[in-house]
Amino acid sequence: MKIVVAIKQVPERDAQVRIDSTAKWIEETEYALNEPDAYALEEALQLKEHHGGEVIVISAGPERVGATLREALAKGADRGLHIHCDDLGLRDALGVARLLAAAIQPENPDLILTGLQSEDLGLGQTGVIVAELLGLPHATLILHVEKTETGFTVKRELEEGWFQTVELPTPALFTIQSGGNKLRYATLMGIKRAKTKEVRSVTAAELAVDAAPVVVLERVTLPRKQKSTQMLPGTAKEATAALVEKLNFEARLL
């Protein structure tokens, strides 16, 4: 089975958020593999372990994205595909999906996986649009993928603690929900091997897709406080004593 996993490099979860001079995004920071994409990669690696085949990781973005692709290779992906694109932030979800779809199409995979959403933009759309552009059936919020004779049976998360199974033919695209598997770490051997694995580069220009956005992120701002939060200063002992006092006499909850 040939599996393509679309992954994204996102700002580290704990990185400080500083709005840049354009006021359209944040300053450069530390980056990491988008966590839902890590679950998509894990599902792909487990499918390969059971059924054989190849796992190809693909990512769009500037030079620094190469590090995230190497990380995925170190975890066990077989090869990488880097769409060099310095204006990713100016493209909308359709524009990014067009890049991915154009790069994935010649690979002709049996299965495409990606995380259900990114931790930075949180759109949760790219996978679904890639399926639409490639004319593939899809399912979202998938916790488990099982290969069948003719296609796949997947476990899909519904709202409020409900689930369902969905059957689909091959090829198909799934967006993976976190928590379906335990994530693996890269081994030292894996990191060493990753250095010799192939990462092919293609530029956004070479893919020649429409880059003009129909939806524009005009400005980013720090959120205003919804409530007037009373911050309780001091040592742990002072702050918690103040909290108990407040809960007792102000909120009357103790």
Partner 1 sequence: MSGILVVIEDRAGRVSRIGWEALAAGQQLAAQLDLPVSAAVVGLETESPAAEIAAYSLAKVIRVEHPLLTPYTADGFILALHQLIEKERPAQVVFPHTYQVRDYAPALAARFGQVLIGDIVAISAAAENAGPVFTRQLLQGRLNGAYRHTGSGPCFLSVQAGAFHAEVLQTADSHPCSDPAPAASSKAVEKLNPEGGGGFNPRIKPIASTRAGRGGFQPTHLSPEVPASAPTTVSVFTPTIDPAQIRTRPGEPFRGGTQTVDLASAQRIVSVGRGIKDAANIPLVQELATALGAELAASRPICDSGWLPIERQVGSSGHTVSPKLYLAVGISGAIQHLVGMKGSQCVVAINKDPDAPIFEVADYGIVGDLFEVVPALIAAVKAAKR
The candidate with the shortest Cα–Cα distance to 32, out of 117, 114, 119, 99, is: 119
Is 247 a binding residue for partner 1 by CB under 8 A? The answer is yes
**Which residue in 21, 149, 196, 216 binds partner 1 (CB under 8 A)?**
216
> Segment 50-79, which members bind partner 1 (CB under 8 A)?
none
> Segment 150-169, which members bind partner 1 (CB under 8 A)?
156-169
Is 220 a binding residue for partner 1 by CB under 8 A? The answer is yes
Residue 43 and residue 57 in contact, taking contact as beta carbons nearer than 8 Å: no
- Identify whether 171 is preceded by a cis peptide bond (ω within 30 of 0): yes
Pairing of strands 79-84, 54-61: parallel
Sheet of 138-147: strand order equals 151-157, 138-147, 172-176, 111-115, 2-6, 54-61, 79-84, 199-203
Helix (H) or strand (E) holding 250: none
Binding window for partner 1 (CB under 8 A); candidates: 67-75, 102-110, 194-202, 238-246: 238-246
> Segment 97-136, which members bind partner 1 (CB under 8 A)?
97, 119-125, 128-129, 131-133
Binding window for partner 1 (CB under 8 A); candidates: 67-75, 104-112, 198-206, 232-240: 232-240
> Segment 179-198, which members bind partner 1 (CB under 8 A)?
179, 182
**What 3-state class would DSSP assign to 39?**
helix
Is 16 a binding residue for partner 1 by CB under 8 A? The answer is yes
Site string for partner 1, 17-36 (x = CB under 8 A): x-x------x----------
